[in-house]
A and B are shown apart, each in its own frame.
Chain A
Amino acid sequence: MKIHNDQIYKTLQTKFGFSEFKSGQLEIIQRLCNRKNVLAVLPTGTGKSLIYQLFGYLINRPIIVISPLISLIDDQVARLNRLGEKRVIGLTSKLDHNQRQFALKHLRNYRFIYVSPEMADQPDVRLELDQINCGLFVIDEAHCLSQWGPDFRPAYLKLKDLVRHIGSPTTLMLTATAKPAVRKDIIEKMGFAVSDVIQVVHSVDRPNIFLDVEHCASLTEKNEKLLDLISVLKGSGIIYFSSKKIANQISELIAQKTGRTTAAYHADIDLQDRYRIQQQFMHGNIELICATSAFGMGIDKDNVRFVIHYHMPGNLENYLQEIGRAGRDQRASIAILLYAPGDEYIPSTLNLMGLPSAANIQTFFHQPESRASFDDDQRQLLTYYHDQRKTSEDVTQIFQTRQLAKQTSLVSMLDYINETDCLRTKLLAYFDEQFNEHSQNCCATDQALEKIKQLHLDTVPNKQDVSDVKKQLVPWQMRLEQLFSSKK
């Protein structure tokens, strides 16, 4: 397909409202235009989805996007809606029978089709995917293909067959973090030769994010430290927790002690409230979000100044992903990890992706009526194994193996926490990147408060973004006017 750069830039402007590409985007789009398979490793926040979305407008044929989590799919669908794109569908278990039939019947009319690997493997879905003359096959979070990675997802292994079944369209594999061994594995698991795939690999490093680990002697000290940090740090921030309950508690504590506007954000918060919190956060009405890790977040906020981990994540891949929400505007930002002895034993840290317990697997297999009570993603995974005629014993075994892999990842996370030398060197080494340019703007341990001042993160960054309007009820007449009356 011959496509001129002019046309690519024009689409960027009309569909997305940008005049410049972020690094890596244009190069990959050009490769795709030349029908090359691409494995792209681009750090979080560099606009990976824009690549295939823009390509979708150029090629004008349906794009299939494999995505691992329903929350991520919903999020992408909503974003495209926001860009004014209506021809987008998330094929997930949230569709009821009729909607699913309708969607499948009209599949070729959609521009973007998001689907989980398990759903893509169902016979009726496979059949329809074959009929649509797919313009590009995208595998998001492609590291899920690799058994070396902590997020291995068995159904990804079937994508190799699927892509051939639907006529081997150009394939784009996207991930934020993948070491060379993992990249090789991804390509192999997709059944490509290394020479079939162009690798576009950008450093996972985000130089504008200062790295810091704070070692606290106890939980009390950790809480005090957190409050101290928050009293000094200005601007917007995200604090990560491994438990919903603690996220709630600390959110309250922060509001009481520092008077800053906070909100807890996790799976128990209902959908509308998540939406309101996202929007208020984007507009600076809420300054701090207390979120649980591994929880998809539809926030495109450029000027998050700090990410604090109250609990560490279970592996460095997730850590990198989560701190990547800071400093997308390329300005100085800070990532602070608070560690207290024993944190590594917090069960959810060990079990980050929510692998079901042996007892739950039993229940799922032997009491079909219990299945509704499992969360969407667990149910999808277990249903997949169930349909593969695995027994609950097999599945328990598989998950135990996964558990071991997770523990290995956790050890690397702890190594990072205990690093006495340059944190960035340590972090990048895990992804097989070398780094030896440590400076005073790079990293530190147990010096967060001083470093915040050094980086000027204790001063108000951007006046108009910080609002100290307290959120209050307004008279209903006024509220209705705000909502429905455009003439003011």
Chain B
Amino acid sequence: MNKDFDFSDFLLQFYSRSEWRRPKVILNNLIGRRTVSNLFWGMQYGLLPFFDLFPKLNNENFDHFQKKFKQDGFIEVQDKEVRLTDTGKLRKETNLSKNFQFQFKGIGLYTNIETIKDCLNLTVQIISEFAFKNNRYYPLQYSGRVMNFCKRWFRQNKSPELPNKFQQELSEFLKTLDNKSADAFVASFVGHNSFGLTDHQIKTDLSLNSFEWKIIDLALMTEFIWWASDDNSQTHPLCQNLVTPWLADSPLSMSSEVTYQLFLNNFSIEKIAQKRHIKVNTVREHLLEAAILIKDFPFQSFLSAPLPTNLHNYLQNNPVLQWQFSVVNELVPEFSFFEFRLLQIREDRTQK
């Protein structure tokens, strides 16, 4: 608590003292670049829960932090890989508890938080002005998609009771938070003759630094999204309708999801490729994405045969991240890279 928790402390949690890691993978996951290689390494580095949380982060900004880490003696650099020093490790551990407070559960794999936040903000404004029977106001300016979505949502839900109902639903959510968080969550809303507080004003009032507020804000929005989308008892249909259209059912990309569904319906890799007019290799990439992101992925479909003893021994005697495909390929030439990656993913799963 002696020092402010900032973005660099957040970043440090993804580095390791014992492993050399690639900073590029960290950046790519935080900005939500979805490639199998990124996801695979993101899984190894514990990044997936934070996927796409900082879409506006850029190279320049990120490099600035790398340089700073090096200057402060937190990391050592070798080629394009880095590793924590003892000082770095100490620093990381000091803030570990702070990092654990935030549960994002990989929300960025399902949606873009910013988009839903924009929608919520605009909807609050529209309903508030509606409550005061005012239709002359400056609407918040967001992307055309968001503006159109909110207009349509409003048209569909418009009724004299709407403001009251919406207030009720939001109250229900806010009761699930502690009071301070609930106050902060509604502080920035813009409405009729009520213009909300800026991020700067909120963080000052809460005595937080910019990053602390930013991450709390993201965490609260995440809470809201999970809460709104989970409505079996139909207690908050308005919020649910606001959120779920932006939320994917699956953490997979759309195309990977199609492939995976075909696969679950017993289509072979070759058949899927044929049917979808895509390369066999692309199908494999899609399946790897599923292996990484889907909890009950059926590994046994590909890895049913017992491993040859020499391969088994090699894998047993080395930590998963040090497995080398070149070695495996020499031991068992018919073993493909696809199977090798699946093996790594399965191993990582069973360890966690």
Q: Which A residues are closer than 8 A to B by beta carbons?
A: 74, 77-79, 81-84, 94-96, 99, 263-264, 269-273, 275-277, 279-280, 283, 285, 298, 373, 471-477, 479-486
Question: How far in angstroms is the closest Cβ of chain B from A190?
Answer: 31
Task: Give the distance to chain A from B160, nearest Cβ to Cβ, in Å.
Answer: 11
CB contact between B171 and one of A77, A83, A373, A480 (< 8 Å): that residue? A480
B183: chain A residues within 8 A (beta carbon) = 473-476, 479
**Distance in angstroms between the alpha carbons of A285 and B197 in the assembled complex:** 11
Do B187 and A275 have beta carbons less than 8 Å apart?
no
A-B contact pairs, 8 of them (CB 8 A): A96-B145, A99-B148, A276-B197, A473-B206, A476-B183, A477-B171, A480-B167, A483-B189
Residue interface bits B104-139, CB-to-A below 8 A is 1, else 0? 000000000000000001001001100111011111
Instruction: Tell me if A277 and B198 are in contact (CB < 8 A).
Output: yes
- Return the chain A residue nearest B194 by Cβ: A482
Say whether A275 contacts B140, CB under 8 Å: yes
A99-B144, A272-B121, A476-B179 known; A483+B139 contact, CB < 8 A: no
Shortest Cβ distance from residue B39 to the other chain A in the assembled complex, whole angstroms: 20
16 more A-B residue pairs beyond the given contacts A276-B190, A476-B179, A485-B163, with a C-beta to C-beta distance below 8 A: A74-B141, A79-B138, A82-B136, A272-B140, A272-B196, A273-B200, A277-B198, A280-B198, A471-B197, A473-B183, A473-B197, A475-B183, A477-B171, A479-B183, A485-B164, A486-B163
**Residues of B in contact with A (beta carbons under 8 Å apart):** 58, 121, 124, 127-128, 131-133, 135-145, 148, 163-164, 166-167, 170-171, 174, 179, 182-192, 194-202, 205-206
Complex Cα–Cα for A100 and B137 (A): 24
Question: For the complex, what is the distance from the CA of A169 to the CA of B58, rounded to whole Å?
Answer: 46
Residues of A within 8 A of B121 (CB): 272
* C-alpha spacing A263/B196, complex, angstroms: 14
A84 to B179, alpha carbons, bound, how many Å?
37
A198 nearest CB across to chain B (Å): 34
Closest to A82 in B: B138
CA–CA, A401 and B64, complex, Å: 34
State the CA gap A471–B204 with chains docked (Å): 10
- Residue on A nearest B114 in the bound complex, by CB: A270
| Contact between B58 and A94, CB atoms less than 8 A apart | no
A79 CA to B137 CA, complexed, in Å = 8
CA A280 to CA B197, docked complex, whole Å: 9
Contact A263 to B198, CB < 8 A, known contacts A79-B138, A486-B132: yes
Nearest-CB distance from A224 to chain B (Å)? 25
Q: In the bound complex, what is the Cα–Cα distance between A481 and B131 (angstroms)? A: 11
Please name all residues of chain A whose beta carbon is closer than 8 Å to the beta carbon of B131 when the two chains form the complex.
Answer: 483-486
Report the bound CA distance from A79 to B174 in whole Å: 33
Question: Which of B140, B179, B194 contacts A483, CB < 8 Å?
Answer: B194
Partner of B195, one of A82, A269, A276, A472: A276
Residues in A neighbouring B182, C-beta threshold 8 A: 476
- Is the beta-carbon distance between B167 and A83 smaller than 8 angstroms? no
Query: Do B187 and A473 have beta carbons less than 8 Å apart?
Result: yes
A162–B196 Cα gap in the complex (Å)? Answer: 44
Smallest CB-CB separation from A252: which chain B residue?
B200
> Contacts A263-B198, A273-B198, A486-B131; is A473 near B184 (CB within 8 Å)?
yes
Given A272-B121, A480-B170, A483-B191, A78 contacting B139 (CB threshold 8 A) = yes
Tell me the number of A-to-B contacts counted with CB atoms below 8 Å: 121
A476/B138 contact (C-beta < 8 A), A96-B144, A277-B198 known: no
What B residues does A271 contact at CB under 8 A?
Answer: 140-142
Contact A276 B198 (CB under 8 A): yes
Check A484 against B164 for contact (C-beta < 8 Å). Answer: yes
Q: Which residues of B contact A485 (CB under 8 A)?
A: 131, 163-164, 167
Q: Is the CB of B195 within 8 A of A279?
A: yes
* Contact yes or no, A479 B187, CB < 8 A: yes
Of B133, B188, B191, the contact of A482 (CB 8 Å cutoff): B191
Residues of A within 8 A of B189 (CB): 479, 483
> Which residues of the other chain, A, contact B136 by a CB distance below 8 angstroms?
82-84
| Complex CA distance for A276 and B190, rounded to whole angstroms | 8
- A116 to B174, alpha carbons, bound, how many Å? 43
| Residues in A whose Cβ lies below 8 Å from that of B188 | 272, 276
- Bound-state Cα–Cα, A477 to B131, Å: 16
Contact yes or no, B186 A273, CB < 8 A? no
| Contact between B135 and A84, CB atoms less than 8 A apart | yes
The CA of A114 and the CA of B24, in the complex, are separated in Å by 41
Q: Determine which residue in A81, A263, A473, A474 has the highest number of CB atoms from chain B within 10 A of its CB, and name it.
A: A473
Alpha-carbon gap, A357 to B342, bound state (A): 47
**A285 / chain B contacts, CB cutoff of 8 Å:** 195
Contact A94 B143 (CB under 8 A): yes
In the bound complex, do residue A484 and residue B127 qualify as a contact, i.e. CB atoms below 8 Å apart?
A: yes
**With A78-B138, A471-B201, A483-B128 given, is the CB distance from A476 to B143 under 8 Å?**
no
Interface-centre pick from A78, A263, A272, A483 (highest chain B CB count, 10 A): A483
Q: Which residues of A contact B200 (CB under 8 A)?
A: 263-264, 273
CB of A243, distance to nearest CB on chain B (Å)? 16
Give bound CA distance, A7 to B283, whole Å: 68
B167 A275 Cβ-Cβ under 8 A? no
Provide the bound-state CA to CA distance between A130 and B167, in Å: 47
How many angstroms from the CA of A273 to the CA of B174 in the assembled complex?
22
Bound: A78/B137 CA distance, A: 8
Contacts of B171 in A (CB 8 A): 477, 480
The distance from the CB of A296 to the nearest CB of chain B, in whole angstroms, is: 12
Cβ–Cβ contact A473 & B202, under 8 A: yes
Lowest 9 CB-CB distances: which A-B pairs, in order? A279-B195, A483-B191, A484-B163, A476-B182, A484-B167, A99-B144, A273-B198, A84-B136, A483-B128
A94 contacts across to B, CB distance below 8 A: 143-144
Report yes or no: B58 in contact with A373, Cβ–Cβ below 8 A.
Answer: yes
Q: Which of A269, A283, A373, A477 is the most central at the interface, judged by chain B CB atoms within 10 Å of its CB? A: A477
CA separation between A79 and B179, bound complex, in Å? 36
Measured in the bound complex, the distance between the Cα atoms of B170 and A280 in whole Å is: 25
Given contacts A83-B136, A473-B187, contact A483 B144 (CB under 8 A): no
